[in-house]
């Protein structure tokens, strides 16, 4: 058996290539949209990719099933409840897929979504204990998939939570302890609230350590897994729908279009949003007025999908040589409307001086002093609810970053605003979003809440 896990840190997303090395027959599970790596590996090993299985309709990225099928002729498989605009092979509980000796078996595990499946992997067709199980978003390492996302239209979180209870406690936990667990996501994903940094585990280990796998009633489970979830990024519903559609294929060879400063500004005037992917310090030193700062060195795609509407056309400012990377990362979430980018931005900025503006950033000491004034600034906390539970700045307003685009009106405009997150990444994004919406006196907190804590300033949970 050949078994390869591909892990994409930016989206905390795992995909898998499983093959029988005697027959050369292979299956891909949950591939991302830029599929060259899978195809190159398969060719190097003399493998034929016969099928693509998506464990469910993903909400956090655009899956690469159509790209793989176009390149290889592979069939596309989903759980039997799935309905799509393109031809699929519907997979039911107990279905077996032979690659030779290596055999896959479908286990229906609804709950994260109604059509969710897990895939049991047997190294030999007659093995009584599977080598492993690809759990999709049903079971994570340290957590289970959240049942409250909009990926499942017409089904409530309570209904999905009850499905998930039976999938986890009655099916997955019924597997032998030795079975390896390979989930579709890891730490950082918004598909759960307590995901581990580990990329594989065992059923036995999850039985012992995963809070959601401990013995409990169905009612207790539903209450536990539906509470305290992070705010879902705005693009999740968009991707969940797009993964059902016969959409346009991603073309890795299509270059990001370089624009002159005049062309760039003309596209902005036509309604394109400027996404500045540089470090927050570089952005603060000088950026194009109205640009949203989404640093590339972080959870770029997920963050972009949280603060930029899917239908918007996009202009990119990036460090020289990273333009193609940025276009690909946006394409992974289905954001294909990149008009172009500024080549050699430092040189371009010299021709755009009238359009440049700095961004205010304050230290924790400066914020502490400002809060003691007669007219203190408004403090906006853009962390998730679970983070805020660990402590908060007295009197701060709480709006998670993923919710900020639709809640901008809740941020008072009678005083200056200081935005903070945990360390400074999300606060720069949020502050730029407020400025783009017309707020003129907005700063973000250097070092975030971590920097604030070092002052030993009184906090309120």
Please state at what angle helix 425-436 crosses helix 300-307, rounded to 10 degrees: 30
Q: Do 234 and 134 lie in a common domain?
A: yes
Q: Do 100 and 235 lie in a common domain?
A: yes
Domain encompassing residue 379? 361-460
The 10s digit of each residue's pLDDT in 425-444 is: 999 999 999 999 999 999 99
Quick one: tokens of 65?
């099933």
Q: Is the pLDDT of residue 457 over 70?
A: no
Q: How far apart are the first and last CA of the chain?
A: 51
Helical segments of 351-443, H only: 364-371, 385-388, 425-436
For residue 252, is it within any domain? no
For residue 255, is it within any domain? no
Domain termination site, one of 294, 325, 357 = 357
Q: What is the pLDDT of residue 461?
A: 45
Higher pLDDT, 459 or 158: 158
Q: Residue 256: which pLDDT band, with cuts at 50, 70 and 90?
A: confident
CA distance 316 to 338: 7
For residue 16, is it within any domain? yes
**Under a CB-based contact definition with an 8 Å cutoff, are residues 186 and 6 in contact?**
no
Domain count, the chain: 3
The 10s digit of each residue's pLDDT in 364-402 is: 999 999 999 999 999 999 998 888 988 999 999 999 999
Q: Residue 290: which pLDDT band, with cuts at 50, 70 and 90?
A: very high
Q: Do 273 and 131 lie in a common domain?
A: no
Q: Do 441 and 347 lie in a common domain?
A: no
Q: Is the pLDDT of residue 33 over 70?
A: yes
Q: Do 52 and 171 lie in a common domain?
A: yes
For residue 249, is it within any domain? no
For residue 299, is it within any domain? yes
CA separation (Å) from 382 to 257, 358, 393? 34, 22, 12
CA separation (Å) from 49 to 14, 16, 22, 93, 389? 18, 12, 14, 23, 47
DSSP 300-365: HHHHHHHHS-TTS-EEEE--TT-HHHHHHHHHTTT---EEEE-SSHHHHHHT-GGGEE--EEE-HH
Q: Do 285 and 216 lie in a common domain?
A: no
What average pLDDT does this structure show over 226-245? 88
Range of weakest confidence among 142-156, 176-190, 303-317: 142-156
What average pLDDT does this structure show over 221-237? 86
Q: Do 453 and 393 lie in a common domain?
A: yes
For residue 248, is it within any domain? no
Helical segments of 21-176, H only: 36-44, 65-72, 157-165
What average pLDDT does this structure show over 299-325? 94
Q: Do 215 and 288 lie in a common domain?
A: no
| pTM score, whole prediction | 0.92
Q: Residue 192: which pLDDT band, with cuts at 50, 70 and 90?
A: low
For residue 347, is it within any domain? yes
Q: Do 314 and 452 lie in a common domain?
A: no
Please, what is the average pLDDT of the chain?
A: 93
CA distance 19 to 39: 13
Domain termination site, one of 303, 335, 357 = 357
Q: Do 57 and 193 lie in a common domain?
A: yes
Q: Do 232 and 273 lie in a common domain?
A: no
Q: Which CATH number does the domain housing residue 62 bear?
A: 3.60.15.10
Q: Do 351 and 371 lie in a common domain?
A: no
For residue 282, is it within any domain? yes
User: What single-letter DSSP state applies at residue 170?
Assistant: I
Q: Is the pLDDT of residue 218 over 90?
A: yes
Q: What is the pLDDT of residue 399?
A: 97
Q: What is the pLDDT of residue 86?
A: 98
Q: Which CATH number does the domain housing residue 433 bear?
A: 3.40.250.10
What average pLDDT does this structure show over 95-110? 98
Please state at what angle helix 300-307 crosses helix 323-331, rounded to 10 degrees: 60
Residue 214 has φ and ψ, to the nearest 5°, of -70, 150
Quick one: tokens of 144?
């289970």
Domain termination site, one of 332, 357, 382 = 357
């Amino acid at each position: 058996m050949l078994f390869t896990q591909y892990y994409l840190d930016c989206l905390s997303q795992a995909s898998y290539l499983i093959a029988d090395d005697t027959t050369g027959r292979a299956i891909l599970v949950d591939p991302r949209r830029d599929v060259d790596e899978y195809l190159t590996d398969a060719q190097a090993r003399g493998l034929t990719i016969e099928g693509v299985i998506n464990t469910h309709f993903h909400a956090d990225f655009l899956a690469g099933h159509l790209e793989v099928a176009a390149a290889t002729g592979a069939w596309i498989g989903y759980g039997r409840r799935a309905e799509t605009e393109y031809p699929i092979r519907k997979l039911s509980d107990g279905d077996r897929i032979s690659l030779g000796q290596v055999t896959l078996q479908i286990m229906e595990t609804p709950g994260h979504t109604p059509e969710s499946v897990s895939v049991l992997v047997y190294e030999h067709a007659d093995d009584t204990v599977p080598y492993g199980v690809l759990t999709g978003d049903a079971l994570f390492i340290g957590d289970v998939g959240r049942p409250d996302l909009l990926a499942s239209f017409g089904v409530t979180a309570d209904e999905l939570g009850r499905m998930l209870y039976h999938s986890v406690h009655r099916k997955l936990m019924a597997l032998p302890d030795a079975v390896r667990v390979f989930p579709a996501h890891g730490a950082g994903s918004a598909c759960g609230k307590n995901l581990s940094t580990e990329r594989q585990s065992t059923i036995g280990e999850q039985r012992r350590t995963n809070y959601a796998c401990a013995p409990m009633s169905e009612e207790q489970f539903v209450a536990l897994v539906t509470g305290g979830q992070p705010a879902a990024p705005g693009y999740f519903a968009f991707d969940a729908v797009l993964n059902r559609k016969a959409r346009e294929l991603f073309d890795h060879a299509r270059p990001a279009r370089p624009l002159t400063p005049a062309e760039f500004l003309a596209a902005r005037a036509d309604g394109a949003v400027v996404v500045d992917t540089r470090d927050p310090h570089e952005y603060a030193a000088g950026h194009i007025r109205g640009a949203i700062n989404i640093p590339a060195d972080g959870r770029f795609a997920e963050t972009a999908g949280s603060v930029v509407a899917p239908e918007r056309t996009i202009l990119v400012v990036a460090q020289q040589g990273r333009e193609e990377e940025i276009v690909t990362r946006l394409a992974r979430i289905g954001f294909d409307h990149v008009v172009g980018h500024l080549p050699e931005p430092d040189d371009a900025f010299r021709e755009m001086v009238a359009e440049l503006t700095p961004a205010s950033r304050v230290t924790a000491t400066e914020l502490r002093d400002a809060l003691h004034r007669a007219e203190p600034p408004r403090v906006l906390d853009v962390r998730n609810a679970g983070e805020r539970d660990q402590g908060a700045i007295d009197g701060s307003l709480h709006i998670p970053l993923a919710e900020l685009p639709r809640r901008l009106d809740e941020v008072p405009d009678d005083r200056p605003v200081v935005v903070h997150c945990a360390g400074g990444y999300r606060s720069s994004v949020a502050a730029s979003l407020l400025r783009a919406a017309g707020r003129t006196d907005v700063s973000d907190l250097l070092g975030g809440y971590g920097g604030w804590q070092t002052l030993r300033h009184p906090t309120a949970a």
